[in-house]
Structure 1
Amino acid sequence: MKFYRLWFQVGTKLACNPSLVAFEPINEPPCNDADDATEINKLNTIFLQAINDAGGFNSQRVVTLVGGGEDSIKTSEWFEAPSGFSNPYAIQFHYYSPYDFIFSAWYVALHKLQNVLLIFYRGKTIWGSDADKATVLSDLQLLRGNFTNVPIVLGEYDASPTNTEPAARWKYVDYLIRNALGLDVSCILWDNGLDHLDRDTGTWRDPNSISMITKSTASTQNSLPDSTEDSSTTTQWSSASLFHEYGTQVVAQSLPFLFNGNTLSLISDSTGSILQSGTDYSVSSSGITLTASYLSKHLSPATSPGVIADLTLKFSGGESSPIIQIVQWKTPTLSSTSAVASSVSGADLSIPITWGGLTTVAAVKAVTTSGVYLVDDFTVYLGPLQQARTVSFYLQVASEKD
């Protein structure tokens, strides 16, 4: 009854608004089994009954209906459309898979150490293998295959520039968008102001992702930097950054690239200057090489660590214009090997570190001097880059009675 009354009030208030105002009955309703799904199907019916009873334009209003958790698998299996209503509708689902890549968090572990509660978030920074792509495509095809003649809306998805590796992110965005469009699935990007759009400056944090999202079609062939795809490897690399080690001589460096049928048109630097082919860089079938003479304009053995310059790449086709960072790096240093957590609940633990290049940590190996993992022992069965790793953690000081 409360659900009916809520939507009756909304329908009454907005009864005269046109289809520019669409309704969604409930966001990501929890669903563990078929019984839960049956209740969610009932909620869709109650929702439609309520807005239709409210009158006005509501009998013609466009709505999106939801399945269990707005999950593609659960929706595919258990969603049943209400009958007896004239409203044009679409099925809405949300997609944040693989969770460990999108959120850099596949598990949250609680650990009590004396009177401090440690909450660990862990994940990975690799995406793009054949298995990764097959999973995404299978999830999309399952939903479309079960609802062949119904509009489908991917109402939330994200690969945030604040917590995903750029080359892996661009490969993910490219693959997801093109295959969703190929299955006639409309896509709406999730953004809370902390991910894509900087609300203070009104600028996009990752224009390359936005360009691929807004301009690509199912047949678009985007050129992309390559990166690690094998989770069993002990090292990780990415062509979205060019790293030069502090204290070493500057040499030519090559960046593997996925041209996907396009050719490189131009490279421009942070000042807008155009690099000269043959002098500043060369191109082969496998990638792009920046010459030592060009890199020496930005780098030297003594250049202070950090992001030194950005290079923007343009191609003959596609909508991708990736930005490659030139980074001078050296090993970060600790001014102290110990730190004390504040007694204030929710306060940060300040780690006395001086960065030596990029200031964003992909992951930290949390292990005691005796070799005991601070995170779960079962991570030993994961890839080397995930074993005992934590990408972030909170510390909450508990009372002694806890």
Structure 2
Amino acid sequence: MKDIRQPAHHRNRGPGRLAALLLALLVILGLSGGSASAAPDGTMEKPSRSTVRVPAAAKDAVAAMQPSWNLGNSLDAIPDETSWGNPKVTKDLFDTIRAQGFRSVRIPVTWNDHQSATAPYTIDATYMSRVKQVVDWALADGLYVVLNVHHDSWQWISKMPTDHDKVLARFNSTWTQISSTFRDAPRALLFESVNEPVFDNATDAQKTQLLNELNTSFHKVVRSSGGGNTDRLLVLPTQVCTPSQTLMDDLSTTIGALHDSNLVATVHYYSWYPFSVNIAGGTRYDDNAQKDLTDAFARMHDTFVAKGIPVYLGEYGLLGYPDDNHPSRIERGEALKYYEHVGYAARAAGVTTALWDPGFAYLNRSTMQWRDPALFAWIKSSWTIRSATASFDKVFVRKSSPITAQTLTLNPNGTTFQGLWQGDTKLVEGRDYTVSGDQLTLTAAALTRLTGNRDYGVNATLQARFSGGLPWQIDIITYDPPVLSNASGTTGSFTVPTQYRGDVLATMEAKYADGSNAGQATWTPFQEFNAAFSPDYPGGKTILTSDFLNALRDGAPVTLTFHFWSGATVTYHVTKSGSSVTGTTS
């Protein structure tokens, strides 16, 4: 566990007070390069410092911010910094981020629980000091910083349609106080008006008008505060940070009307929704998911970048991946294809990307180690080069059947295939595999050798290597179709006994006898992974969640079809009667 440093105002004791007084005198005499503000204990805080030379042009500055990282679920956590499971932020965290190649960080902040809900909407001085400390650590590490108003968007800003004047007054007061605190911070600090803005019970036209009003007011408040805020880069979002053409056109209109060359557009991108959470059969990074990404980045480029307005992709990732707390809902190789594609598309479009990290997904903030180094390697590689992929990263060999040759389709992404390796041993082309165009075929003889004693599960791992980028990993897996068993339980606790026999669950569809969809997602038979069902491989069972079971009609039999990555499908039947649930294989 890294040491948790005390806030700056707790350290300014003894000799530090004399230094603070001297600094204050220098500021008064105009002999200091920055301003000093009062900490909660009455001492003077040091002005923010940065070693970054920020280019004059906004597009060049935002380009210099690539790549970026989000300090998610920390200062934006509700109600306090550690409420959502992350440790307190330390300078070591930014040291790590900078050492890993990131050039900027987005620091989301939720102010609501540290601010008066009535005029003049004063932000707690201790909290403001803590935010400044964290920002200063990042700036001192040579990182650009994006500071925002985060979950306030849905906590109170969303009420603007019915409480317009109060919300606007509080919003303006919030930014007045932030602007004052960071008035003379270096230009490496950017302000983002509001995260994913939403407006309750409003028409589309009203939402457009209200967001324009907020962004315009934010611009006026910050610019009028003077100091470094006169030319600070200001980041303006679309509604909900959605990259749709209509919403980006609305933002483009707002930016154009402000006549300010130091403005940045921001949107978020979490992939095609069915793939991002594994619902509606979106198990693969297929043509639909690829087109969704390609189109989104093309819109960003054509609407903003091509017109000289830089785009900061304030958040990207997959909504259901990775998650250390649950089984992976998105197949690993398919997820890697997405991350590789994001990096390429962003470079082609001239967009700066900020990885959303909630703390339990990528960097472990207690150990300062990546939870999945191989995944991060793919993300990092995508910043500069392309890596090849294949149609899948698994080859399933059925134990109860004769072994036959199997074929994968290569996606070189501009590289050239160099061969297959198992560890340090290169496989022999012609004997172990053949290549015809983009078709890579593993021979029956090679698969027989690689599966060995044919225990269920991964028997061997190969690497397809290419002329550039990272190698593509291929697991050779022995399996037989899974076997399910009868069971009984309640809506609060029901599991299907499952012998997975080396196979891996991809998705589950649920239908009533009349063919209609069963479960929470009534618009599709394919239910959401981990929300409706979840595999427990070590426990030999498949969990049906209480949310799924409670959504079923009482007394109506439901047929479940479990789809596995080997291609196997297995049916099962469940019936809910009150709080009781029975499950049968026939």
Where on the TM-score scale, by shorter chain, does this alignment land: which range? 0.7 to 0.9
- Alpha-carbon shift at residue 244 of structure 1 (Å): 0.9
Q: Residues of 1 paired with 2:289 and 2:220: CA distance?
A: 41
Q: Residues of 2 paired with 1:67 and 1:365: CA distance?
A: 35
- Alpha-carbon shift at residue 15 of structure 1 (Å): 2.6
Amino acid of the structure 2 residue aligned with 1:141: A
Task: Label 1:285 to 1:210 Cα distance change in 2 as closer, same or farther (>3 A).
Answer: same
Match of 1:151 in 2: 310
Match of 1:354 in 2: 499
- Alpha-carbon shift at residue 325 of structure 1 (Å): 1.6
Match of 1:240 in 2: 393
1:28 matched to 2:196? The reply is yes
Q: Residues of 2 paired with 1:207 and 1:297: CA distance?
A: 32
- Alpha-carbon shift at residue 327 of structure 1 (Å): 1.5
- Alpha-carbon shift at residue 85 of structure 1 (Å): 7.7
Amino acid of the structure 2 residue aligned with 1:88: N
Match of 2:247 in 1: 75
Amino acid of the structure 2 residue aligned with 1:308: N
Task: Label 1:100 to 1:84 Cα distance change in 2 as closer, same or farther (>3 A).
Answer: closer
- Alpha-carbon shift at residue 170 of structure 1 (Å): 4.2
Q: TM-score under structure 1 normalisation?
A: 0.75
1:64 matched to 2:235? The reply is yes
Which of 347, 350, 354 does residue 184 from structure 1 map onto? 350
Structure (1 or 2) with the larger CA radius of gyration: 2
Alignment of 1:216-365 (within 5 A): 216=385, 220=386, 222-226=387-391, 239-269=392-422, 272-278=423-429, 279-300=431-452, 303-317=454-468, 319-342=469-492, 349-359=494-504, 361-365=505-509
| Aligned 8 A contact 1:267 1:314 in 2 | yes
Secondary structure of residue in 2 paired with 1:127:
coil
Task: Label 1:193 to 1:357 Cα distance change in 2 as closer, same or farther (>3 A).
Answer: farther
Secondary structure of residue in 1 paired with 2:190:
coil
Secondary structure of residue in 2 paired with 1:362:
strand
Q: Residues of 2 paired with 1:58 and 1:256: CA distance?
A: 53
| Aligned 8 A contact 1:93 1:156 in 2 | yes
- Alpha-carbon shift at residue 42 of structure 1 (Å): 1.5
Percent identity between matched residues is 24
Match of 2:379 in 1: 210
Secondary structure of residue in 1 paired with 2:434:
strand
Q: Residues of 2 paired with 1:146 and 1:137: CA distance?
A: 14
- Alpha-carbon shift at residue 17 of structure 1 (Å): 2.4
Match of 2:175 in 1: 7
Amino acid of the structure 1 residue aligned with 2:266: Q
Q: Residues of 2 paired with 1:193 and 1:40: CA distance?
A: 30
Q: Which moved more, 1:131-140 or 1:328-337?
A: 131-140
- Alpha-carbon shift at residue 40 of structure 1 (Å): 0.9
1:17 matched to 2:185? The reply is yes
Amino acid of the structure 2 residue aligned with 1:204: P
Q: Residues of 2 paired with 1:328 and 1:369: CA distance?
A: 34
Q: Residues of 2 paired with 1:283 and 1:69: CA distance?
A: 46
Which of 278, 294, 298 does residue 104 from structure 1 map onto? 278
Please give the per-residue CA displacement for 1:16-64, whole angstroms capped at 9, x wherever unaligned. 3223322211111126613212211211122223333444422232221
Amino acid of the structure 2 residue aligned with 1:50: V
Please give the per-residue CA displacement for 1:173-227, whole angstroms capped at 9, x wherever unaligned. 44443333222222222232444446665233524631442223xxx5x42202x
Secondary structure of residue in 2 paired with 1:28:
coil
Task: Label 1:152 to 1:84 Cα distance change in 2 as closer, same or farther (>3 A).
Answer: closer
Secondary structure of residue in 1 paired with 2:293:
helix
Secondary structure of residue in 2 paired with 1:72:
coil
1:92 matched to 2:266? The reply is yes
Q: Residues of 1 paired with 2:428 and 2:364: CA distance?
A: 34
| Aligned 8 A contact 1:198 1:205 in 2 | no
More helix per residue: 2
Match of 2:90 in 1: none
| Aligned 8 A contact 1:152 1:186 in 2 | yes
- Alpha-carbon shift at residue 242 of structure 1 (Å): 0.7
Match of 2:157 in 1: none
| Aligned 8 A contact 1:28 1:70 in 2 | yes
- Alpha-carbon shift at residue 75 of structure 1 (Å): 2.9
Task: Label 1:172 to 1:323 Cα distance change in 2 as closer, same or farther (>3 A).
Answer: same
Match of 1:38 in 2: 209
Amino acid of the structure 1 residue aligned with 2:406: Q
Q: Residues of 2 paired with 1:186 and 1:388: CA distance?
A: 34
Which of 138, 156, 164 does residue 295 from structure 2 map onto? 138
Secondary structure of residue in 1 paired with 2:407:
strand
Aligned residues: 350
| Aligned 8 A contact 1:197 1:205 in 2 | no
